[in-house]
Amino acid sequence: MIIPAIDLIGGNVVRLKQGDFSQVTNFDIDAIAQLSRYQQAGSQQLHLVDLDGAKDPSKRQLDAIATIVANVKAPIQVGGGIRTEAEVEALLSLGVNRVVIGSLAVSQPQLVGGWLERYGRERFTIALDVRLDNDGTPQVLTHGWQQGSGKKMSDAIDPLLAAGMSHVLCTDVDRDGMMFGPNFDLYDRLQQQFPMLKWQASGGIHQLDDLAKLKQLNVSGVIIGKALLAGTFTIEEALACWQNA
């Protein structure tokens, strides 16, 4: 599945380079119009990141998210520093189809596992951001990629599997926003190690061939942000490539 993505700051569409708020690219486009275009082209899942909420939960863009969800027909998963059950409930009440949980799933897996059991595993996507160490082992990062968690992927995944985790978004942070290709070896390894999970690949997509290769690795979905916004290829081309791969 192709999952188009946009990031929001102050209701405006932006992209960060490797998660760095000092390296922001602004796009002069309307969020609802852009997501609606993706939906009308055939996208069955959309991805939205609330960067204001990621920095400060008190500034979460709930009004903007509510307006987007109300005006875009395709399901939307929303993330951005979700820290409390109240935030989960608020987003679900707006009609968000899945809440994306990142750092909290790594630091407090029992808490997040309880949410999976309470609300249902289909209501969550667990986001695991990784950087490869010198041995090529993916190490999980937290807090907007600024801190190492001291955990390998298996350390972060195992406690959540017992709670029924299904959807996992994995980003190789060294590839994000760089557009020199995703880490195919990483996703191949993860898919083979955890075939029961529905993997969403994110980071580095820069050509249509990337999508075909990822589908051959049996990932469930591919998050595409910058490549679509920058016009590297169109959503129609991406969807056709995925379907025909």
**Mean of the pLDDT values across residues 13-26?**
78
50-101 pLDDT, tens digit each: 999 999 999 999 999 999 999 999 999 999 999 999 999 999 999 999 999 9
Query: What average pLDDT does range 31-47 have in this prediction?
Result: 98
Structural domain span for residue 7: 2-244
Q: Which residues are catalytic?
A: 7, 129
118 near 157, Cβ under 8 Å?
A: no
The DSSP string of 96-133 is: -SEEEE-HHHHH-HHHHHHHHHHH-GGGEEEEEEEEE-
What digits encode the pLDDT tens for the residues 195-224?
A: 999 999 998 898 999 999 999 999 999 999
Q: How far apart are CA 119 and CA 159, in angstroms?
A: 17
> What does the pLDDT read at residue 145?
45
**CATH code for position 127:** 3.20.20.70
Helices (H) and strands (E) in the chain, counts: 11, 12
pTM: predicted TM-score of the whole model, two decimal places: 0.92
The Cα–Cα gap between 226 and 205 comes to 8
Count structural domains, the chain.
1
